Amino acid sequence: MSSHHSPIVLSSEITPRSMFEGRRAFLRDAGFALALAGVGGAALRPGDAHAKAFEGARKSPFSVNEPATPFKDVTTYNNFYEFGTGKDDPAERAHTLKPRPWTLSVEGECAKPKRWDLDELLKLAAVEERIYRMRCVEGWSMVIPWNGYPLAELLKRAEPNARAKYVEFTTLADPAQMPGIRTAVLDWPYVEGLRIDEAMHPLTLLTLGLYGDLLPNQNGAPVRVVVPWKYGFKSAKSIVRIRFTEQEPRTAWNKAIPREYGFYSNVNPAVDHPRWSQARERRIGEFGKRATLPFNGYGEQVAGLYTGMDLRKFF
């Protein structure tokens, strides 16, 4: 994307919490009830009682022992630029996304490429509940009960070959369903990537739901990845293609502003974003700030992936 677009990418301009809450209260009091299309075709409104598609999900030992962010906040305060740059845009606009029918192709440097139907993905492995910390580069964080299974469960079935050094994720880019695609905020489609050992790490989750239910549209329905030790923009939403590559993928935010968004994007409080500090964060629902943890608190599990690397250079 050309440099003249970079001022449009205002990820630093977080909606103030007071303004956000005030707007949400106004909409609620005015009777705002925008139905968000669920994966199964049923309407899902943030905060409504909803079916528990994954009620029997196995509890994961990877879960953190911290209070979860309320469902209404998880589903109404989001970054999903395909539906707009405001934090409440996804909840208001994502009803246009059609998560069925859906296919996810796995291809590239592998012996067994395949196009997976959503129902096949849902049946592929035992779904777990994993309560993960999620950290946004803008300085806010949540604790979310995700439902899914290790991404490695899917990737191993493709039998990646010796040239497969990276895993590239491409998301849906349909202007008819996603109004944000009509703007030049990013070079669409949204592309993210991981090194293959990161993608195969047991913490990396192929995610199909949250809070025991299928993913709401605004949270990346019907399938996304969650990489909890990295900033949230590494967790690609509404994925349509996974590709094994030999070369490091060119990712959306790295193409847009390379000096601010490196390929690795590990949570490193010692490295400031060029426009703000990353040393502290605000947990949604809390008044004060807390210290940001290296690797978002998952250092014991993942620090070994980066042994010998300069994490200021490979940011």
- For residue range 195-245, what is the model confidence (pLDDT) as tens digits? 999 999 999 999 999 999 999 999 999 999 999 999 999 999 999 999 999
> What ranges make up the beta strands (E) of the chain?
36-37, 43-44, 58-59, 103-108, 114-117, 128-135, 140-150, 166-171, 191-195, 205-210, 213-214, 224-226, 239-245, 280-283, 290-291
Give backbone dihedrals phi and psi of 272, rounded to 5 degrees, phi first.
Answer: -75, 145
Distance of CA 84 to the CA centre of its chain: 15
Residue extents of the structural domains in the chain: 3-306
* Side-chain-side CA neighbours of residue 210 (13 Å): 30
Give percent of the chain with pLDDT exceeding 70: 84
Domain 3-306 of CATH type 3.90.420.10: yes
Q: How many other CB atoms are found less than 10 A from the CB of residue 32?
A: 12
Centre a 10 Å sphere on the Cβ of residue 301 and count the other Cβ atoms it contains.
Answer: 15
CA–CA distance, 220 with 235 (Å, rounded to integer)? 9
What amino acid occupies position 309?
Answer: M
Radius of gyration of the CA atoms of the chain, in A: 18
Task: Give, in order, the Cα–Cα distances in Å from 310 to each of 192, 259, 266, 268, 298.
Answer: 21, 16, 12, 12, 18
Over residues 87-116, the pLDDT tens digits come to 999 999 999 999 999 999 999 999 999 999
Sign of the dihedral through C-alpha 215, 185, 179, 88: positive
Give me the tens of pLDDT residue by residue for the chain, a chain 315 residues long.
Answer: 333 333 333 333 333 333 334 444 333 333 323 333 333 333 344 444 455 899 889 999 999 999 999 999 999 999 999 999 999 999 999 999 999 999 999 999 999 999 999 999 999 999 999 999 999 999 999 999 999 999 999 999 999 999 999 999 999 999 999 999 999 999 999 999 999 999 999 999 999 999 999 999 999 999 999 999 999 999 999 999 999 999 999 999 999 999 999 999 999 999 999 999 999 999 999 999 999 999 999 999 999 999 999 999 999
Is residue 135 helix, strand or coil?
Answer: strand
CB atoms within 10 A of CB 35: 11
Q: How many residues does the chain have?
A: 315
Residues in contact with 181: Cβ distance below 8 Å, sequence separation at least 6, in sequence order: 82, 173, 174, 175, 188
Looking at the DSSP assignment, which residues form a beta bridge with residue 281?
290
Q: Could you give the CA distance from residue 275 to residue 108 in angstroms, rounded to a whole number?
A: 37
Please, where are the H alpha helices in 37-161? 71-74, 89-93, 118-124, 151-155
The C-alpha atoms of residue 53 and residue 135 are separated, in whole angstroms, by 26
